[in-house]
Amino acid sequence: MGLGERGGWDKSESRYCGVETEFDDDVPRLLSFNLSSTGFDFVVAPLTDPTYRPSLIEADNGSSHVPPFAGSDLVLSPAQWSSHVVGKISSWIDLDSEDEILRMDSETTLKQEIAWATHLSLQACLLPSPKGASCANYARCVNQILQGLSNMQLWLRIPLLKSDDDSPDVDSDNLMDSWELWNSFRLICEHHSQLSVALDILSTLPSVNSIGRWFGEPVRVAIIHTDSFLTNARGYPCLSKSHQKLISGFFNHSVQVIISGKPLHSIPAETIGSAANQTDNNMNSTLRHPLRSYLDYVGYLYQRMEPLSEQERIELGYRDFLQAPLQPLMDNLEAQTYETFEKDSVKYMQYQRAISKALLDRVPDGEASAATTVLMVVGAGRGPLVRASLQAAEETGRKLKVYAVEKNPNAVVTLLSLVKLEGWENVVTIVSCDMRLWNAPERADILVSELLGSFGDNELSPECLDGAQRFLKQDGISIPSSYTSFIQPITASKLYNDVKSHKDLVHFETAYVVKLHSVARLAPTKPVFTFNHPDYSTKKNNQRYKKLQFEVPRDTGSVMVHGFAGYFDATLYKDVHLGIEPSMATPNMFSWFAIFFPLRQPICVQPGSPLEVHFWRCCGSAKVWYEWCVTSPRPSPIHNSNGRSYWVKASSNTEQVIVDSFRCDLGTRSKLRTVTDVLRHF
């Protein structure tokens, strides 16, 4: 039984709630008490008797022995073990102890319990938190185990704790940031994808910025202790506003909740029966689980969350999946891709607004009946911008002559049919040609295009519009008139591991389109490259270089930078803009996802240390590519030097691929998908 479904469609793992239990050698009874009669979905239970020590058994018996596991594997079905039990590794183990006997006992027990959990086909085991700041031997042993695991996840228990530097009651010599503990552990384990975090939620929370780091880390569960709950006016447990916000954030990131601890709230006797009846009419109030009121409250938080919008529901399955960038200059788009982009009504409304303003500026009211504005749509596709232009002309009462220029012969077929269907033959002229090769019969007053990529210029909008600019009047208007790319450093553990899984250099030197979700945005965005149109400069050059310095807020603590998220913002005309830069993104627009530039080796940034990054846009005779590197706090290699791994071909040739050396597996094993594949599901 989950916490309740949001709108009857939610399949998120976060709707399942577990309970941490004590050791019980009667596992069926343990499950019956905590699951069947209560509503919890799984138990986190110790696998062996907590008094067990291998060295004591060996001293008594002097021979091999069988650890005191919690019952035979036959007491539950394989499905029950897998679905309802998470193994809790003995909490006493300390693999970094100075006591050699304890250290050896700990290593033996850890390996025995993991082996038993593997035999039971458990989905996950909860590892105890490291006992001190040094965890090298513990991490080494876990890393050994990870090399042999097939599917099971290991959840490392980490308290959500960070002391504030300026807190008057904190000893500066004993400042504690539990993220540092996790970071040391996962670095020793080489960012292994089966090592995750189980966050212990305490009664006091660190700063919002410090908490934000964890949303880019592989957090699988949040363990809420009963002593973290407050008491409401009716005597029931509740959480503070900051705790509520944190748990809601975890729900949105598919993090499961586990209730831990003993009941600390005395529910008024007269309300126990009624509360139980409201929750489960078939449950006798005398059998009420002591932690039921905590589960009910967590369920209440889950059920009151806002349902996802239709757009979010469509994108749900594609969050944090790497996608090969769309290349409309090189490839002819398919009908399904056109159809998806044409559904983005917000984008075309913005274009229509911009064209209307340009028409009003171009033709005074007194000349509206006589003057005809020549408007060229370059890259017309199947005609949405042509329609937006004609609607703007009708809205403003201006006369229009439209040239629709499109290189895709398949889209031209649709355009011809549309013109005939709508009766636009006297207004719209269709040109089947690459805009850079067309010899226009006259010059345009307004040039309209939608050649922008996720990073603004990454689909070669500057090169295309430079080629088309020759048939724009000297005082003509380009829509868009300018666009700027932006980047920001992010923690993105999942994306990093997906790139790393390919085990080659090429994938680390490729920019990916991705619907960012499980990421931590570590600093505000900063502008990178800007392009203006029309550009009449005598020394026109689309190469760019930018050095940027980011400051991570000091109260965040140390952070791990896995790469950079890229966005764009475009000025269509005057005050009409569209874009995906987070602080000023156009609402409800879905034509673009962000772009991700990975780092071959993640960079750890300490509080107060600047993060300095360099970006280049390089242009060759036949291709355009990006290069990037970090120089502070430590230097990284130049990524994609000379466009060796990834580039955009600056020519229309459907027989060539954009990245000749980009040999990625697009099968079910790979997390890499093309944008077209994703859009088919919208």
Q: Which two tokens stand for residue 77?
A: 């079905």
- Collapsing DSSP states into helix, strand and coil, what is residue 269? helix
CB 343: neighbour CB atoms within 10 A?
15
Look at residues 491, 517, 675, 452 and name the one whose alpha carbon lies nearest to residue 598.
491
Q: What string of DSSP letters covers 337-355?
A: HHHHHHT-HHHHHHHHHHH
- β-bridge partners, 483: 531, 570
581 in active site: no
Q: Are 207 and 177 in contact (CB under 8 A)?
A: no
Catalytic residue of the set 459, 463, 581, 627:
459
Q: Are 428 and 404 in contact (CB under 8 A)?
A: yes
Q: Are 57 and 102 in contact (CB under 8 A)?
A: no
HEC string for 537-588: CCCCCCCEEEEEEECCCHHHCCEEEEEEEEEEEEEEECCEEEECCHHHCCCC
Beta strands in 278-415 (DSSP E): 323-324, 372-378, 399-406
Catalytic residue of the set 113, 450, 463, 627:
450
Which residues, including other chains, have CB under 8 Å from residue 75's CB and lie 6 or more apart?
A: 27, 28
CA-CA distances (angstroms) from residue 145 to 121, 154, 190, 291? 15, 10, 13, 34
315 in active site: no
Cα–Cα distance measured from residue 126 to residue 138, given in angstroms and rounded to the nearest whole number:
14
Cα–Cα distance measured from residue 402 to residue 400, given in angstroms and rounded to the nearest whole number:
6
Identify residue 71 by its one-letter amino acid code: G
Q: Are 499 and 508 in contact (CB under 8 A)?
A: yes
Report the half-sphere exposure of 175 (CA within 13 A, side-chain side).
17
Q: Which two tokens stand for residue 567?
A: 């966005």
Torsion over CA of 595, 597, 598 and 601, rounded to 10 degrees? -160
Cα–Cα distance measured from residue 479 to residue 450, given in angstroms and rounded to the nearest whole number:
8
CB 365: neighbour CB atoms within 10 A?
10
Torsion over CA of 355, 359, 365 and 370, rounded to 10 degrees? -130
Cα–Cα distance measured from residue 350 to residue 185, given in angstroms and rounded to the nearest whole number:
49
Give, for 624, the enclosing helix (H) or strand (E).
strand 623-632
Cα–Cα distance measured from residue 155 to residue 200, given in angstroms and rounded to the nearest whole number:
11
Torsion over CA of 202, 203, 207 and 211, rounded to 10 degrees? 30
Cα–Cα distance measured from residue 456 to residue 468, given in angstroms and rounded to the nearest whole number:
18
Q: Are 457 and 476 in contact (CB under 8 A)?
A: no
Active site residues: 450, 459
